[in-house]
Chain A
C-alpha cells in the first residue's frame, strides 16, 4: 500500500508518513497528536471519532488515509477561534451536556456538521441527525438542548 505524505488539518498542511490503509483516526491521534477524536468502537457505530472531512461528517476510525486525499479535515482542536469557543462548544458548556465527556468531541463535531447541513433543525431532525453518536452516560436530552441552543445562537450562520 502506498503511503500518504500529507494531510490538510484545521487549515494547515501537515507532513505525515502513513500507510494508506491506516485509519484517519490513528494518524490524527498517534502521528499528529490531535487526540480530541476518540476511539470508541472501531466500526463507525459510536461516533466518538467524528471529524469533518471536505464538509462532511465522517467516522475517522473507518476512514482510510488513502481516501482522504487533499480534502480539508476539521477536528475539535480547530473549532475555537483563539479563546473564543464555537457556539456549539458554548452550548455544551451551558447545558452541561456531558458527564465523562469521552463522547463530547465527537458529539460536538457531529453537531457542527449537522448545523452546517441543516441550520434550523427541528428536535426530531436533531435526534435523527445525532443518532449515530453514543453517549453511554446518557446525556442525550441535554445534548439535544445544546444543539437547539447553538442553532439559536448561530442564527443560521454556519462557521
Chain B
C-alpha cells in the first residue's frame, strides 16, 4: 500500500450534485482559538480527493499534488483527547470504531476520548461519508494521527523529565518510565500552545496486538439514544425559531403559471417568501406553515413525463443518450478487465455446450431514511449556521452558500449524528430552503421535509435493465460472458469468476426520475443478475450451485466466505417440502460476502417468506465485531426489501406510492433468522463494511425461489404482488 494516504476518490457512479467544495481555512491561531491550550497534532495527507481520474464522471477540478490536513487531535490539560474528523455518524457506528482506533494508539481509556465530527467550522475538509471509506481511509488516518500524537507526548516527557526517550512508554493516559516515573498526558500538555503538523509514518500497532480496537466496544454514546436525549438535526431548536415549508409543483417538470399568496399572507404570523420559482412560507408552528402553504393558490402547466409502465423500454431505447440521469452523473463502463472482443465472445457462445440468456429489470427504490431531510438555519449578520442531516457537510456548505448568496467561509454546517442516509443524503435541499427563508424573515427557520416530500423530491436508487448471455462447457467450465447494464450503474459489474471471453458494459441512458447514490450502488443489481445467471448455468449442466461456483472461482477470499457460509448453513441438506435454498457471493469495496438463504413458499397466499439467511463476511481486520455483525444483519434486512417488494411506482410525473402505506419496507414480520459468520483477517488492512453485505441476499433468495418452484424471477423486486404465474 502507498505510504501516502490517499483520500477517497469518487467512484464512476457515485452521484455527486455539487461543484463547489471550498477547503478548510483554519490557521494555527484559529486552532488554539477553538481549543484554548494544549497540544495539537495535525496529520498531513496527500490530497487526491480532488482528482478523479479523467475518464470518470463526477468530481471536481484537479488540485493535484497538494497536501492538506486529514485529521487532527488535541490533548487538553484535563487529559481529554479530542479527535476531529469530517466524517458523519449515520448509524454505521463510526463514532465508536474511530474512538477505538484513537484509544488503541494513544493508550487512553475510551471515556477520555471525544470525537468532533462533521462541523465545518472545526474539522478538516472531507468529501463525504460514502463509499465505505471511513474505515479504510479515516480510521487509518486517525490511527496514524494518534500514533504521531503519542510520539509527541513521548518527546515532551523526555524533555520535561530529562529522561532517555527510549526508556519511555505509554499506558492508561500516561507516559511511564524507569523507577516508577510517570506523567499524565494532561500534565504534559497543560498551559502549552504546541502544534505539530506531521506527515510521517509513526509506528502503529499491528492488528494482532490490538486490545481495544478489534473488540466489541458498545456504542460510545448509546445512553443518549435510549433516553431520547440525542439531538438530531430535526430536533434542533433555536430561540425565536419559526417553521418553514415550501410550495411544491404537482408533478415533475410542472411550470408555474400563476400564483396567489394573499390568503396565506393574511394568516396570523405567516410570511410568504416568493422569489422566482422559490415559494415558501414561515409560520410560528409547522401546523400553521402547512395551512399557509395549502392556502396558496397556484396554477401549474404540466409537462409530459415517462411513466413506470414504459420505464424499461425507455431505458433501453435511450441507451447512449444522457449520462445516467437527471440530477446526477452516470458512470461509464465497468472498471478493469481485458479489452472486450465481441467476435471472440460470440464465437465462444457458439462453441458452448449450454447457453443461458436473461433480461433482468431493476426498479427505482427509495432510501426511506427514517429521519427525513431536515435543517435549521440561523443568521448572525452575514454569517450563517445550518444544522442539517447530510452525508457531505462540506458539499452542502458550498451549496447553501450559493443558495444564500454568501461566500462559503460565512457558512458553518453542523451535522448532528443523523437518522440514517443509506446514500440518500449526499445533499440536503432542506438546508438551502431553510437558509433562504431565514435570510428573508430574519429569524432562525426550521424546515423538515414530510415523508411525501422525501419520497417525491429527494432521489432514488437508479432503475435499470441488465441483459446477460453466458455459455458453459458440459463439465461446468464457464466459457463465455456477455453482460450489459443499462442505467443501474457500473459498481461490481465485473464478474469475479474466471472467464476467458467476456464483455461487460455499462450503458448510460436517460432516467425519467431523479436518481443518485444508494447503499452499495449498482453492486446489488449487478450481483443479482450475475448470481442468478450463475445458478441458471449450474442448472443447465446439472451441477449443484456450490461446486459449480467453486470450479470457476480462483479468488481465495471469495472461496473462504463461500465455504464459511455454506458450512454454517448446512448446504447440501435437502430443504423441507415447500422450501428452497439458494446461495450467492460477491465482492465490492475490498470486502467479500457469501449469503445462503432459505425460503418458504406459501402456496395459499402465493407468496414467499425468507425464513433463514446465513452471511459470511470478510473485510480484513475487524475493528468492532458486534457492530460489524449489526451492519451485516441490517444490510441483509434492507436488501430483502429491494429483493422482494420495494419499488417506486410513478406515472405522469407523479410518485403514486409516496407514503408508507403504498411503499412497503421490511418490518419485524419480514425478518428471517439471521446468522453471521465473520472472518477476521488481521493480516489484511480493514476495509469498509456498510455496503457490501447488502449484495448477496437478493440473488440468494432468487436462487432459493428457483429451487423451490422452478420459477426464475428476473426482476427486482421479485414478488411485489406475490409469485408470478
Chain A residues near B (Cβ < 8 Å): 19, 21-23, 26, 29-30, 33-43, 45-46, 48, 75-77, 79-80, 85, 89, 92-93, 96, 98-105, 108, 126-128, 130-131, 133-144
Contact = CB atoms under 8 A, between A and B. Distances in A.
Contact of A96 (B287, B630, B635, B671): B630
A103 B230 CA distance: 12
Contacts of A103: 370
A41 B91 contact: no
B90 A43 contact: no
B626 interface: yes
A103 B225 CA distance: 9
Given A42-B450, A42-B451, A137-B420, A100 B371 contact: yes
A104 B660 contact: no
Contact of A77 (B91, B228, B232): B228
B634 A40 contact: no
A98 B222 contact: yes
Contact of A134 (B450, B630, B661, B667): B667
Contact of A136 (B418, B638, B659): B638
A85 B228 CA distance: 12
B218 interface: yes
B655 to A, nearest CB: 15
A112 B194 CA distance: 51
Nearest to A126: B668
Nearest to B666: A138
Central interface residue in A48, A75, A98, by most chain B CB within 10 Å: A98
Interface string B67-92: 00000000000000000000000111
Given A45-B661, A96-B627, A137 B91 contact: yes
Given A30-B286, A77-B228, 7 more contacts: A30-B243, A37-B228, A38-B370, A45-B661, A93-B219, A136-B370, A138-B666
A135 B660 CA distance: 13
B229 interface: yes
B450 A138 contact: no
Nearest to A45: B660
Interface of A is mostly: loop
Nearest to A104: B225
Interface residues of B, number: 58
A136 B633 contact: no
A140 B222 CA distance: 17
A142 B226 CA distance: 14
A41 B659 contact: yes
B663 to A, nearest CB: 10
Nearest to A65: B287
Contacts of B671: 127, 138, 140-141
B293 interface: no
Nearest to B216: A96
A113 B214 CA distance: 37
Given A41-B451, A43-B659, A93 B218 contact: yes
B369 interface: yes
A92 B235 CA distance: 22
B111 interface: no
Contacts of A98: 91, 219, 222, 225-226
Given A29-B235, A33-B237, A43-B659, A102 B287 contact: no
Report the 7 A-B pairs with minimum CB-CB distance, sorted nearest first: A36-B228, A100-B91, A138-B637, A102-B419, A76-B228, A99-B91, A138-B634
B695 interface: no
A85 B223 CA distance: 9
11 contacts: A26-B285, A33-B237, A35-B232, A35-B235, A39-B234, A43-B451, A96-B218, A98-B91, A104-B226, A133-B668, A141-B633
B295 to A, nearest CB: 15
A131 B669 contact: yes
A120 B371 CA distance: 32
A5 to B, nearest CB: 16
Nearest to B235: A35
Contacts of B669: 127-128, 131
B481 to A, nearest CB: 33
A67 B464 CA distance: 47
B372 interface: yes
Given A46-B660, A141-B674, A142-B633, A134 B370 contact: yes
Contacts of B422: 136
